[in-house]
Structure 1
């Protein structure tokens, strides 16, 4: 793992960078929130794709009359 601030290599699971001394621990709540947001983003993308597919099908039916 690399320190996000100084890019020095750090030990796996380190809470503080040994090189620059900055806090590099990511709270579990932030990780959970990020995962939840990624899941919601994917759900919205899927919903948007379904809506686009439905709109295209509607337009095809409308033009075939």
Structure 2
């Protein structure tokens, strides 16, 4: 695990950085919340992509020839 503050390598699962002494533990609840937010973000991106495709299709049909 790399320290987000000083970038030094630490043992996996370390709670405190061996180099700078700062707290580097991330609670499991925050990791779960992050993963949930990433999943929701990806779902919203897919919905937006589909909506854009639908708008483009409508605009192509409306174009006068």
With structure 1 as the length reference, what TM-score do the two structures score?
Answer: 0.89
Q: CA deviation at 1:64?
A: 5.1
Q: CA deviation at 1:30?
A: 0.7
CA RMSD, Structure 1 to Structure 2 (Å): 1.3
Unmatched runs of 5 consecutive residues or more in structure 2: none
How far, CA to CA, are the matches of 1:5 and 1:62 in structure 2?
Answer: 55
Structure 1 residues not aligned, in runs of 5+: none
Counterpart of 2:27 in structure 1 is 27
- 1:9-40: per-residue Cα shift (whole Å, max 9, x none)? 11111111111111110001110111111111
Match of 1:48 in 2: 48
Distance 2:29 2:64 in 1: 53
